[in-house]
């Protein structure tokens, strides 16, 4: 059965300073429980803000290291979900449900990609 990685992209400038609401966390917990019981969710997590991240870049045979925050980024990867689904349509359906858990003021984009096997 194919595996899919959903990269959760967020605009750090539009997220609430106090973090996700209790209502969002409750709904997210219920969805994660449902998707786990369905045997779809393999792993999921949110990531710390880019201010705590570091980029390691390779170009022209040289490595450069830059600590966050990364001011040139509008959207950043804020989390991920690793799912095992029967097909891409199922992965997209679970991803849509994930997005719909958020309140309307959130701006969140998920990039769903099948993991190349073999």
Spatial separation of the C-alpha atoms in residues 108 and 64, rounded to whole Å: 29
Give pLDDT, residue 14: 78
Residue closest to 109 by CA, chosen among 7, 32, 31:
7
Residue closest to 84 by CA, chosen among 6, 7, 25:
6
Over 80: is that where the pLDDT of 41 sits?
A: yes
Spell out the domain ranges in the chain. Answer: 3-114
Spatial separation of the C-alpha atoms in residues 40 and 50, rounded to whole Å: 28
The CATH number corresponding to 3-114 among 3.60.15.10, 3.30.70.1060, 3.60.70.12, 1.10.150.120 equals 3.30.70.1060
Over 80: is that where the pLDDT of 72 sits?
A: no
Tell me the whole-structure pTM to 2 decimals: 0.86
Identify the band that residue 47 occupies on the pLDDT scale cut at 50, 70 and 90.
very high
In three-state secondary structure terms, 78 is strand
- pLDDT tens-place string over residues 5-24: 999 999 887 788 888 899 99
Mean pLDDT of the chain: 92
Spatial separation of the C-alpha atoms in residues 46 and 11, rounded to whole Å: 14
Over 90: is that where the pLDDT of 89 sits?
A: yes
């Amino acid at each position: 059965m194919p595996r899919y990685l959903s990269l959760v992209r967020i605009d750090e400038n539009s997220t609430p300073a106090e973090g996700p609401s209790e209502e969002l966390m409750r709904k997210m917990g219920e969805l994660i429980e449902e998707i786990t019981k369905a045997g779809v969710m393999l792993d999921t997590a949110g990531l710390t803000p880019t201010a705590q991240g570091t980029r390691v870049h390779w170009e022209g045979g040289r490595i450069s290291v830059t600590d966050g925050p990364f001011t040139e980024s509008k959207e950043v990867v804020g989390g991920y979900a690793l799912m095992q689904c029967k097909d891409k349509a199922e992965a997209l359906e679970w991803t849509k449900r994930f997005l719909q858990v958020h309140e309307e003021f959130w701006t969140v984009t998920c990039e769903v990609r099948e993991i190349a096997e073999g």
